[in-house]
Amino acid sequence: MDGISCGPTEQLLYHIHIHLEVWVDGRLYAIPAGVGIPGSQSVETNVGPVAEGGRCLYWLHTHTADGVIHVESPLRRIYTLGNFFDVWHQSLSAGGVASATGKVTAFFNGKLWSKDPRLMPLIPHAVIQLEIGLPPPPLQTVDWSHSSL
C-alpha cells in the first residue's frame, strides 16, 4: 500500500515517532491501537492497552491509542499523513477525516497548515492536529523529552 509493506517484524533502519490528534466538534477522536497491525488484539498491560499479535506490521502503525504513530521502516524515506491514513483504511482530505465530514483545519508543529493534509510529512517528533467543527480546541503540545520515544 503506497509502497509500504507489511512484514513479519518491525524494521528499524528508520525509526521515528509522530503525535497525531484529531478533534471533532471539540472532542478528541482516539486513534486506535493496532492501526497497521492487521489481526492484532488489544491486551491490557501495566502501561494500558497495547496492540499485540497480528499477521504483520506495516512500516506505519500504532501500538497504543495515545496518538503516537510509529514509523519503523527499512528505508530512509519521508512518509506522509496520507500514507498513514491509507494504511489505516480511512479517508483524509480538506473536507473530512475518517467518518467526520466538514472543513478540516490542520496544524503542523503548532503552525497552520494550508496545503492538503495528506501531504503533511511524518518527520521525527512532529505534532499534528486536525480539527473539524466547533469549538476549536487549544493547540496541543507534546514534550517528547519525557518519553522514551
pLDDT of residue 1: 77
The confidence score (pLDDT) of residue 125 equals 96
**Coarse DSSP helix, strand, coil percentages of the chain, rounded to the nearest 5 percent:** 10, 40, 50
In a domain, 31, yes or no: yes
What is the amino acid identity at position 122? Answer: L
**Residue 51 is assigned to a structural domain of this protein:** yes
Cα 100 to Cα 23: distance, rounded to the nearest angstrom? 10
The answer to whether position 10 is within a domain reads yes
Please report how many Cα atoms fall inside a 13 Å half-sphere around the Cα of residue 38, on the Cβ side: 10
The reply to whether 44 falls in a domain is yes
Sequential pLDDT tens for the chain (149 residues): 788 999 998 888 999 999 999 999 999 998 999 999 999 998 988 878 899 999 999 999 999 999 999 999 999 999 999 999 999 999 999 999 999 999 999 999 999 999 999 999 999 999 999 999 987 788 888 888 877 77
Query: What is the distance between the alpha carbons of residues 134 and 149, in angstroms, rounded to a whole number?
Result: 32
Total domains, the chain: 1
Residue 45 lies in a domain: yes
Q: For residue 1, tell me if it sits in a domain.
A: no
